[in-house]
Structure 1
C-alpha cells in the first residue's frame, strides 16, 4: 500500500470522525441545553456564553475525534504494512 493510499484513507477517516463528532456534539448540546446549538455563533443575536461554549465544546470534540481516527489508521497501516508511513502527519 503506497503513501498516497495511506493519505487518502487517513484523510477520509479523519473527516468521517469529524462529521460523527459534530453530530454527537449537536446531540449532546440538545440534551443538556434543551435547545438547538447556535446555527451561527458569530451572529450578534446569539448569546455570547452560548457562542463561546459551543465553539469550545464542539471544536474540542471534533479535533479529538480526528486525532484518534488518524492515530488508529496510522497504527493499522503500520501493523499491516510492517513499516510506518513516510510522514504520518501528512494525512489530514
Structure 2
C-alpha cells in the first residue's frame, strides 16, 4: 500500500496536470483560431474534416498537452521539494 507521501504526491501532481491541461487546451484553441482564422476541428476523425487540418490539430494538441503536463508536474515537484526536503520516491535518481 502507498504511504501518505505517495498519495499526497499523486493528488497534487494529478490536480496540477488537470489544471495545466485545462489551461493548455484554452490557449491552444485560441492560438489555433488566431493562426488559422477558424475553429479547430471538433471531430478530427470525421472524413468531413480535411486530413491535413485533422493531423495538424492532433499534433499541436498532443504536443501542447504533453508540454503542459510536464511543466505542471515539474512545478509541483519543485514545490514538493520545498515542503518535504526531497523528491517523491519515483522521481529520485536511481543509485
Normalising to structure 1: TM-score of the pair? 0.90
- Match of residue 64, structure 1, among 67, 76, 87: 67
Give the aligned length.
Answer: 89
Shift of 1:2: 2.0
Task: String of CA shifts for 1:8-36, please: whole Å, max 9, x gaps.
Answer: 01101011101111111110111111110
Which contiguous aligned blocks of 4+ residues in structure 1 show a shift greater than 3 angstroms?
A: none
CA RMSD of aligned residues (A): 1.5
Q: Match for residue 42 of structure 1?
A: 45
Higher relative contact order (CA 8 A, sep 6+): 1
Secondary structure of 2:89 counterpart? coil
1:75-90 matches, cutoff 5 A: 75-88=78-91
**Considering only CA atoms, is the larger Rg found in Structure 1 or Structure 2?**
2
Secondary structure of 1:49 counterpart? helix
Normalising to structure 2: TM-score of the pair? 0.87
Q: Match for residue 18 of structure 2?
A: 15
Q: Gaps (5+ residues) in structure 1? A: none
